[in-house]
Amino acid sequence: MPPLTRRQALGLIPGLSAGLPRDLPPGVAAIPASTLKQDPASLNTDWFGALLVKGLLEWARRGVPEARDFAKAWLEFHLNSNRLAPYSGNRSRTVRAGGVVITTYCGHYGLSFPCYEIFQQLRDLRARRICLEVAGIILHQSARNRYGMVAHDDTAEFAIPDTCYFVVTPLMIAARLDSPHGAVYNHSARQRPREDLLDPRHRLAALVHHRGPPASLSAGPSLRRLCPRPPDAGPRHHPRAKRHWRPALLPGPSEKSA
């Protein structure tokens, strides 16, 4: 889709509900507006399509209820299509998550993101099942490298840090949705950032693959937002940063031996 001019963006906005913030920049408001004009089936199930649907559902909480109908239609299409939607990531094994055909390419684990929102907002149990089965695929079917880290895809030859974002968040979502087994998901989710950030071999791979900060850092908000908190943790966003509650990562080998 070509970039929108300011004039085109302004022309799209009136079609949305009146609930959008009035001071929203036209270019930002045009994102949900232009997306809602598309066929829901045109959005795939890897991170390109899934994160866009998740974003729409966040707009639904802010005054764009049409986004929920769009997300429902998107989910229905992929549940009933019985085929893998075209995607641009590396080829990997085909698997099913709650009936939706995906692969063990980590971008497909992002399917859990909008499905969690669909379950939270619409209480669709099929979306909950998808979230849990994505987490199961990560734990039991994903490719692993020689260090035991979840691989970016079935052909990856080195650690790619953005895998952390697409592994940690689905595992934390599963921990929230399945409390009897939450400790298993929670343990695995907390371990992945430690492997990415503290092991020198993985940190080197991060520096080789990315010019900017490791994408592993983007998993941090998921750990904080979705991790169970102790009763005496206090407010999540305390004005004094040093008093914030933060979920502790699992101790590393050097810390265990100390």
pLDDT tens for 91-131 read 999 999 999 999 999 999 999 999 999 999 999 999 999 99
Is position 180 within any domain?
A: yes
Is position 143 within any domain?
A: yes
Is position 100 within any domain?
A: yes
pLDDT score of 70 more than 90:
yes
Domains of the chain: total: 1
Is position 7 within any domain?
A: no
Is position 190 within any domain?
A: yes
- Following DSSP, what letter does each residue of the chain receive, concatenated? -PPPPHHHHHHHGGGS-TTS-TT--HHHHHHHHHHHTS-GGGS-SSHHHHHHHHHHHHHHTTT-THHHHHHHHHHHHHHHH-SPPP-SS----EEEETTEEEESSGGGGGGHHHHHHHHHHH--HHHHHHHHHHHHHHHHTS-B-TTSPBPSSTT--S--TTHHHHHHHHHHHHHHH-GGGHHHHHHHHHHHHHHHHH-HHHHHHHHHH-SSS-GGGGGHHHHHHHS---TT---TT-SSGGG---PPPPP-HHHHH-
Is position 29 within any domain?
A: no
pLDDT score of 255 more than 70:
no
Confidence of residue 163 (pLDDT cuts 50, 70, 90): confident
Is position 211 within any domain?
A: yes
Report the CATH number that the domain containing residue 167 is assigned in CATH: 1.50.10.10
Is position 184 within any domain?
A: yes
